[in-house]
Amino acid sequence: MVGGFSEAHVRRVMWRAGFGASAHEATRWAHEGRGATLRWLLSPNGHKAPLLPGPKPMALDPANEYGHDVLWWMDRMVRTTRPLEEKMTLFWHNHFATRDVDTPLLLRQNAVFRAGALGSFPALLSNVMEDPATGSFLNLIGSYKDEPNENFARELMELFTLGEGDGYTESDVREAARALTGYVEGEKAGGVLLSTRFEPKNHDPGVKRIFGHKGRFGPHDVLRLVVANHHHPELLVRKLWSFFVDEPLDTSTRLRLQHVYTGSGHHLKPVVAEILDHPKLYANLDGPTMVKAPVVAIAGMLRATRLGVKVDDWTWVTSGMGQELFSPPSVAGWEWGPAWMSSNGMRMRFVAANVALNQPGLKVKDGDTPLDLKPQQQLDRAMAALGHPWASARTREGLLALTKGYDAMAGQKWQRQVAADMTQRAMRHLLLSAPDAQVH
Amino acid sequence: MPRLRAYSACQDFHHASEAARRDVLTRRQMLKWGIGAGVTVYAANMLSTGSLLDAAAAEAAAAPDAPILVSVFLPGGLDLLDTLMPLEQEGTLRDLRAGVSPASPLALGGTSLGLHPALGRGVGGGLKGLYDRGQIGFLPGIDYANPNLSHFASRAFWETGMVSQQSVSGWLGRWLDRHGSDDNPLQGLSAGYGLSPTLHTAGAPVASISDPGDAELSMWSVWGDWGAAAVKAYASLSQSAPHAAGPASAARAARLAYSVSEQLAPFRRKDDTSPDPLAGTVAYPEDNETADRLKVLAGLIAQPLGIRVATVDADGSFDTHEGQAATLDKDLGAVGEALSAFQADLEARGVADRVLTFVWSEFGRRPEANKSGGTDHGAGGVAWVQGARALGGILNDYPSLTDLDREKNLKVSVDFRRIYSSLLAQWMGTDPAEVIPGAAQFGQVPLVRA
């Protein structure tokens, strides 16, 4: 431990900024310290292949096979050597939520999010505006000077940059919609749209009035105006904070983060760096409080257990838990936090443990468990198999108590082996499915 | 994950069809793990394990004839003008909407209005048949003053019963907080995958159920008595009350998942070939997600579970920015078929007198069509009450096509809070002011047959 940075700190920041830490990572980064850990997260070396060599996933065809888009992305989350970049890609997928367009378009949009994950917000916003998935979903493509479609303009202000009703009026939405006219379909390959194109003759060249400014504004002027609107930094800072931290954002911290954001020329990395370094991210280290989002819970489990993405069940499991990647419920994205914890979502987390424990590597076959292990040895064995997940003292006591009950049930000699295997199976399941497993 | 679909308009509230997802799963997987949503229970207070059905039975026994209000939401902003067509103004309408409005509306006797032809499909002549039998009362032009044309904002107003940006409980959730029980989550049910914000409460427990059969918690690799003990250990690990919201929500969800798994066992099919304990006699349309949800709801309503309010989000999207004619024919038709089967089922189960259904959408659409054969967000939508004791007919004035507002939208003819107040007073028998702030200013309109 260097400078008050323990393995618990490493596990916390690796979960929040990524998908958890292995035992090896926890030791290594606690030794190297806070500064080195955050530098590694924020500025990973320029690996050409940012994926760990193993565990290799099943054969995937993300563009064509049902559900493989989800599996493909989850595999990246499991094997990435740049966890923060992947986590921020998930942030942008939620922020610029898009659904109901062809999968190849969504995969291309995903690459846009990843490339701009921690860069300049205006640059990312511009790429998103010209992205064919966004343009299709929010009717920017085909919005024509005589009949401007307000869909993109409205969500741009309401969800992407300002917040509902903050700093804009209905008139601003209509005028921005005029300024945003002119996009049409660009290149296509095999019936799939590859790009959008700005067609000047479809654009309304007239004078518009947006946020009190007058001019012959075009699409990029609209983006410039919304980013310059003084309501914008607060929206973005609040959203980033609550993605990483579940403690309230106090005013002085918020103002400082807004200052960092605008002072950097609207770059994301300095703001995220401040958040990851903030003491509130490390609150309650002995009892985590933030609910794991479904894909984060599953990717983290597959990473810690070294199972990898070997079965296609993870598509419907994560969907049943309430988060179907590439299909957010609406352009507003998912509702995060305790809202994930419906009892139905919880039941699917129980099912997720069933699916995991049915796979080679975690499955306990009859006779696998040595006889005469003490309860604590059983628990240590289960913890090691799962990559040492967090479990409260109360949960560990409950698991030890279960062992005693099983021992009492195993009257005859042949049942001692059954009891040993059942103990191991039940412990592993409960370590993955009980309430403690759902928070980080 | 739809593939190779036409670029769609803003599908803000389009929910992925569960049916589509099921199609691609193997039979084996479905049997093995019980895919699909089971029961979601939300409660602010702790429920002791095992008390659920006791509470439900006690409640039902105490008030066996208590009225039940069902709220059905059609997401996206259903168009009034093509759903309930103003035949007197048909020329004007067709000028505004060449090729969009349906060619042969079903004229409603004694009125100058016609229903969308797709609403003649289904059991007993569909919704047209129900109207003819006096069991539907339409509310054309329903909305609120200065409507907000954001799906999210407007939907939230309808769900909370307040035109306000405050984050508050749902209007039926508030009713439960005032008149419901502290220990029966089944009193407020969302039939389907998630809990409707209409049922968000401050304290009263509520639930969402897609299929009681999917609610069972079972550890796949730990069987027999070993499994039962392990699942009990799970329940015991959930008997904690952490202070922080996250862990508290996890413990509560686990507790209720276990409780519901145990207590809904009587309504669970034993296996794939055994009969469905909730089965009725009315055939619902196939491949119709709305019908699936309503079918489960009708089955549960007929049990002594103490259900008082329920919500269903219809499948399909009514956000018809493009291709309105085809979308309404398909999706509105599917909703009409589902609702008419639901009504027939309630009658067959002998509970129709206890159930009133209110169907609504978050706003209406602009009279003038856009260039994509669709219509954009507008004011003045359509809603209706249906049921054996609903007051049939056209319950308020129809908006004019020639007297539009400044935005070229229909003028609102009735405030939705007037309808909520009427439902609370006339159907639930309680003071609307408890739930709708300033209820008196909205007044009431007769909705229920005396």
- Contact across the interface for B246 and A347, Cβ inside 8 Å: no
State whether A38 and A78 are in the same domain. no
Of A258-262, B354-358, B407-411, the poorest mean pLDDT is in: B407-411
Domain presence at residue A237: yes
pLDDT digits (tens, 9 = 90+) for A369-383: 999 899 999 999 999
State whether A279 and A332 are in the same domain. no
Q: Does B208 touch chain A (CB under 8 A)?
A: yes
State whether A431 and A358 are in the same domain. no
Query: Binning pLDDT at 50, 70 and 90, where does residue B57 land?
Result: low
Instruction: Report d(CA A386, CA A391) in Å as an integer.
Output: 12
Q: Does A329 touch chain B (CB under 8 A)?
A: yes
Statement: residue A112 has pLDDT above 80: yes
Domain presence at residue A150: yes
- For A196, the token pair is 């959008």
Domain presence at residue A353: yes
Domain-ending residue, one of A256, A283, A310? A283
State whether A167 and A259 are in the same domain. yes
- Mean pLDDT to the nearest integer, A283-291: 95
CA distance A265 to chain B (A): 31
Average per-residue pLDDT for chain B: 84
Between strands B136-143 and B393-394, the pairing is parallel
State whether A11 and A133 are in the same domain. no
State whether A126 and A238 are in the same domain. yes
Judging contacts by C-beta atoms under 8 Å, the chain A residues touching residue B13 are 330
Domain presence at residue B80: yes
Domain presence at residue A297: yes
Q: Does B256 touch chain A (CB under 8 A)?
A: yes
Q: Which residue of A has its CA nearest to B166?
A: A164
- Contact across the interface for B37 and A344, Cβ inside 8 Å: yes
Query: Binning pLDDT at 50, 70 and 90, where does residue A341 land?
Result: confident
For an interface test with A, the pick among B8, B11, B252 (most A C-beta atoms closer than 10 Å) comes out as B11
- Contact across the interface for A100 and B256, Cβ inside 8 Å: no
Domain presence at residue B417: yes
State whether A212 and A311 are in the same domain. no
Q: Does A294 touch chain B (CB under 8 A)?
A: no
Domain presence at residue A102: no
Judging contacts by C-beta atoms under 8 Å, the chain A residues touching residue B25 are 316
pLDDT digits (tens, 9 = 90+) for A349-406: 999 999 999 999 999 999 999 998 999 999 999 999 999 999 999 999 999 999 888 8
List, in order, residues 6 or more apart from B327 with CB less than 8 Å away.
B316, B317, B318, B320
State whether A264 and A125 are in the same domain. yes
Residues shown for chain A: 440
Domain presence at residue B235: no
CA distance A249 to chain B (A): 16
Do B312 and B191 contact (CB within 8 A), yes or no? yes
Judging contacts by C-beta atoms under 8 Å, the chain B residues touching residue A346 are 250, 253-254, 257
Domain presence at residue A241: yes
Q: Does A439 touch chain B (CB under 8 A)?
A: yes
ipTM: 0.94
Do A254 and A238 contact (CB within 8 A), yes or no? yes
- CATH classification at residue B411: 3.40.720
Residue B409 has a CB neighbour count (10 Å cut-off) of 23
What secondary structure letter does DSSP report for B283?
A: P
Quick one: what percent of chain A has pLDDT higher than 70? 97
Most confident of the following: B1-10, B114-123, B195-204:
B114-123
State whether A178 and A238 are in the same domain. yes
CA–CA–CA angle B362, B363, B369 (5° rounding): 140
Q: Does B203 touch chain A (CB under 8 A)?
A: no
CB pairs under 8 A between A and B: 229
Instruction: Report d(CA A122, CA A274) in Å as an integer.
Output: 20
Judging contacts by C-beta atoms under 8 Å, the chain A residues touching residue B253 are 341-343, 345-346, 435
- Name the H helices within A58-131: 68-79, 83-95, 103-115, 121-129
- Contact across the interface for A347 and B13, Cβ inside 8 Å: no
Q: Which residue of A has its CA nearest to B256?
A: A343
* Block residue for tokens 């741009």: A156
Quote the domain boundaries for residue B302.
Answer: 18-34+67-177+285-442
State whether A405 and A341 are in the same domain. no
Domain presence at residue B159: yes
Q: Does B30 touch chain A (CB under 8 A)?
A: no
- Contact across the interface for B10 and A151, Cβ inside 8 Å: yes
For chain A, how many structural domains are there in total? 4
pLDDT digits (tens, 9 = 90+) for A176-195: 999 999 999 999 988 889 99
Domain-ending residue, one of A332, A363, A394? A363
- For A81, the token pair is 């050597």
State whether A269 and A137 are in the same domain. yes
Domain presence at residue A230: yes
List, in order, residues 6 or more apart from A415 with CB less than 8 Å away.
A409
Residue A266 has a CB neighbour count (10 Å cut-off) of 20
Domain presence at residue B345: yes
Query: Binning pLDDT at 50, 70 and 90, where does residue B4 land?
Result: very low
Domain presence at residue B336: yes
Query: What is the SS3 assignment for B30-42?
Result: HHHHCCCCCEEEE
For chain B, how many structural domains are there in total? 1
- For B190, the token pair is 């969302």
pTM: 0.75
State whether A308 and A273 are in the same domain. no
Q: Does B265 touch chain A (CB under 8 A)?
A: no
Of A3-12, A304-313, B208-217, B232-241, the poorest mean pLDDT is in: B208-217
Quote the domain boundaries for residue A306.
Answer: 50-94+290-363
Between strands A213-215 and A208-210, the pairing is antiparallel
B positions 291-350 inside 8 Å of A (CB) = 321
Domain presence at residue B315: yes
Instruction: Report d(CA B237, CA B7) in Å as an integer.
Output: 47
SS3 A289: coil
